[in-house]
Each structure stands twice: as C-alpha cells, then as structure tokens.
Structure 1
C-alpha cells in the first residue's frame, strides 16, 4: 500500500513477452540471452551457464520468487531480471538484461519496476520471518552495479531516481615485470588455499570486511558461490596463517576466466577477494599475498594480474595497489535507491 492506504499496483511487464520465473529447463535459453547481450555490451564479466546452475540451486534466494524471464512467441528468452538479498541485509542487489534487438522499447523500465516491487516485498517477508515483531524494519533499498561504458543503463537508473553511491576501479598489473619482493614476519606462513581452509577463510573474510562499505557477512551458501565458482582457481590462491594458533591472518582468492581471454585478448589472473584481519594489518601481509599471486599467475601463463578496488577503501588498498604496479583500466559504479516500504 502507499502512504494513503491504497494498494500499490503490480508493475506491468511488456505484454509481447510471456513472463515467468526461471527454471532448470531454461538454462540454455537464459545463458544464450545473457551471452547475446554481452556480445554487444562487452562487460568485463557476465554470467554463464555454470553460474546460472548455481543460482537455480540457491535456497536463500529461490528463483521461483526472485527471478523473471520473458519469452517471445517462439520461446526465445528476450529479457531477464533477478534480485538477491541476505535475510538480515540492508539492501537487495539487482541484475538483468534485455536482448539487444528488444532494447529501447520500455522492457528495461518494466523489469526495473518489477525488481523494485520484489525488493519491497522481500524486505517485508524477511521482517515477518524474523520472529521479532518489535524490530525496526530497514527501509527497502535496491542496488545495481554498472560499468562506465554502459551509458544506457546509467540513463535508466538516473531517470528512475537512483544515484551513484560508490566508484570502483578495475586495475591491471603486467606480469612481464618481476613480482615485488615481500617477506612475511616470523611466525606467519603462506600456504595454498584448499578445502580444509574453506570455513576458516570464510570466517576470516567476514571479520576482515566488517569495516568495509556495503559488505555483509557471507553465510555458508553465499560462501559456496565463492569456493564453487566455476572459474575459481584455488591453485592460484594463497592464505597466510599464524603458526602459533592456526588463525587465518589474510587470504587472496583467485579466479581465471578462460573464455574472457579469447574475447579480451589477454589471459588474466583475477584476485576475487583479498583480505587481512584487523589485528594483523600493518605487517605487509596483503603485499605478500599479491606478490605471491603475481608469481602464481605468471607461472600459469597469465599476462596480467587484476583486481577491483573500492575507490574509498578504508584500509588504503588503492595506494598499495598503485605501489605494486597496478594501474586503473576501467571504472564501475554502484547505484542505490531507497524504496517505499510495503504498507
């Protein structure tokens, strides 16, 4: 309902398409739609079939309620939208796309309205499921991420009341240069990431990112998306342990997108996550982890080491990356909008 007590109308989706939530039978059509869109828009990364299989198995964000696919009369997927939200989170994240042949006809606006309504409903559902009738319900908020070259997305968000709340830099470091020298303090040990470290590193990540803007704790399912990522490369990932007690002091988790290498023209070792627990900061651990990553990437035949960084990261990460030879090659933005709560 709105502030006057009237029931909010459901967003109208384009009647030229048949709309329903995603199902396992849609994997090929869904992946095909995203690939066709990516071929035109050239994002740095996009979801592929294996990623969508993970999404279909999510328990925290079941696709039956949190996705929508639009099919033309021939059964070809032409548009898609999805939101995700942590049960106790203060925001939902939206994503989606419209087939390039169908863009410019208002479908994107309809999907955006659907995601906003679904976000409002999801906040109300999570509040009801919390069991605490007296708890304050956060105002619904929806977030999107765009790359700087995607002007049509920026225009849609700006025209729909969204504002940029953060900038991120994609940074590359050539691997034809020697990795910097970096040595751990006595008592610390660098090891390769593996299954025995999945849970200790998850806990270390949640601790390390408590003071990072926009970060929320990752539960077992969310962490499963990290360690079971089809592009995950544990052999290129390192963990620093405190020998005295086995505590994970820091970690660097890497991925490699072999398909993107064919499109972009270079092989990239990507640092997906890098973190150091607060009590271990100031001891050069991040520098050791990145230098180790560079050596691992180079030995695996990569051309560049890459990562993304919040331009306002509170730990001074940007300055460290520049010092180690990384340079910014692309920029992305986070867009937020606060929504009216469900009546």
Structure 2
C-alpha cells in the first residue's frame, strides 16, 4: 500500500465508519446496491472473531477506507470473503493488501473447515462485480469463476398485477412465533435443497443469520395448502439510492407445488406488499443458472438485471501449524 495506509483489526467504535466506507464502495460500482446498516454489521461482527477474521485499512489521517472479513461455512469446504475499498482511495493498493491478507488468513483457517468430501480441497470464495478491477485482479491471482449471480430490480409504480393463486393455496404473513418460524425454515430448506452449492442449515444456524434487528415477520409471506407451507417469500425493507426499497431475500417453492404458478404469485404478492409500504422499487439476487429458471420468471414479471456478480474460488493449501 502507499505510504500513510495501514491494515489492522477494527475497533468496535469504528463500526459506523466501516458501514459508510462499504456503502460508498458498493454504490460507486452499482448505484442500485442496497445500503448496509450498522445493525447488520453489528450482527456479523458478533459472529466473527474480529481480532483474527476482520480487517480495516486506514488512510492518512486515520479514516477507514478499506474493509475485509472472512467467515467459514458450516460445511461444504468454503471460506467466504468480503472486501471493499472506498472509491476516494482507489489506486492506493488497498484491494491488493486486503486480498493478500484474506488469502493468508484463509490458509490458516482451512484445516478447521469441514471439507465437501474426503479429497475435496478447501476454497476461498470472493463475490465481485464482473468485468471490473476486482474481477481482473482475482483472475490474475489464479481464481476460477464458478458461477454468475444477477442483481435484478424493478421500479414500483401504477397498480400492481394481482397474483393468481393455485387451487387450494392461501397466502398469509409469518406470525413470528417459534413454531411458525420452524415451519418456514423447513419449507425453505427443502425448496433450496437442489440449489447449486447449497449447504443445509439447521434451524439455529438459519435463525442466527436472519432473525436479528430489522426482522419483520409481516414481510415474510407464506403460501399454505391444507395446512402445510408449500412456498415462502422472505422479504425485508432496504434503502436504495436514498429511498425506501424492498428486497426479496429468498423465494422458494417446495417441489410438490412447483409448475403451478406459485412462484410468480409469491413474487407479485411481494411487489404489492412493498408498494403498499411506499417502496419505490424492489430487488433481489438470483443464480443465472437456476435449475428452476427463477431468473426468467423475474424477467417476465418486469425485473431487469442491474449488475452481474461473479463467484470466484481459489483452492487453498493446508498450512502447517495453523494458529486457530
């Protein structure tokens, strides 16, 4: 890095500055990127060992201008990385420094990460926008692109299209009780069971990821048939370009209820819900090679792709004398 820049573990008091730097970095590449919140980062940091697995870069004067974190999947042999450089500090070598740290730390972590199979190597995973500087840097360091995800969005205006529900299917909001949340979890786990790269999550793991500050059960739509949840759209409110926006975090339909139009109905119901709440747009991320053709469903509903995000993986060597 250039003179005056330093990389170190973060201080708890720096969390708001980290959130600001991350949001500035994300929006500089894609204005439709949803803003992250202090509560989200506070939740993430509570699950990580920030002394080892999180780094900030400070610039001349001490301001936070770079950020990176690492987290290991519960299974599947993957360590996930996330890193950002404030746009005002591009060209100072921050991205390279953070990437080197992530690779070194991930190599230390690798022996403790459950592998996908007996002979499968542990890999470091980065998600970056396609055809940009980060994409080129990862390729130059030997990363292999394994998947492309699409960020899609649609403006909300005018009367929403009314969903058509399959016979015998009714819609309601999750009631937020532990019993209902467990039923939603079971539905989502089954619905995404054949998703590429999917790692199953226990209820506690799932709840730990989703049920924190900002969770609103009224935004979780569930479709039932004969008392059984057969589909769900797990939504939340976000902020995009300074305005309230909706996000469909997960939309899944059990196999027994597919090809009946239920996915489209849940999507349209989500649009209507956000329109009622005054959101100006709604967005989501989707696998470009979804086995169910989800991205095509979203296109037919009026959503457009605003960014392509590549998943890049680097196989890691096993380090001797790993620290943790």
Aligned to 2:287: 310
> In structure 2, what is the equivalent of residue 225 of structure 1?
209
Q: What is the TM-score with the length of structure 2 in the denominator?
A: 0.85
Instruction: Give 1:1-20 correspondences, 5 Å limit.
Output: 16-20=4-8
SS of match in other structure, 2:133: helix
**Structure 1's 267 and 167: CA in aligned 2 closer, same or farther, altered over 3 A?**
same
What's the CA shift for 1:253?
Answer: 1.0
Q: Equivalents in 1 of 2:58, 2:160: separation in Å?
A: 51
Q: How many residues align?
A: 314
CA shift, 1:273, in A, is 0.6
Partner of 1:49: 38
| Counterparts of residues 2-151 of structure 1 (less than 5 Å) | 16-38=4-26, 40-42=28-30, 44-58=33-47, 61-72=48-59, 74-127=61-114, 136=118, 138-148=120-130, 151=132
Aligned equivalents of 2:87, 2:281: Cα separation in 1:
31
Q: Of 176, 193, 213, which residue of structure 1 is paired with 2:196? A: 213
RMSD (CA atoms) = 2.7
Deviations 1:227-270 (A, max 9, x none): 3253x443233101233xx4321100112213x242xxx65322
Between the aligned partners of 2:307 and 2:95, the Cα distance in structure 1 is 24
Question: Do the aligned residues in 2 keep the contact of 1:70 with 1:78 (CA within 8 Å)?
Answer: yes
Match for residue 169 of structure 1?
A: 150
Tell me what 1:251 maps to: 232
Separation in 1 of the partners of 2:153 and 2:207? 25
Per the normalisation by structure 1, the TM-score is 0.81
Q: Which runs of 5+ in 1 are unaligned?
A: 1-12
1:241 to 198, 211, 224: 224
Structure 1 contact 309–317 (Cα < 8 Å) conserved:
yes
* Higher strand fraction (1 or 2): 2
Displacement over 6 Å in runs of 4+: none
Change (3 A) 1:304 1:102: closer
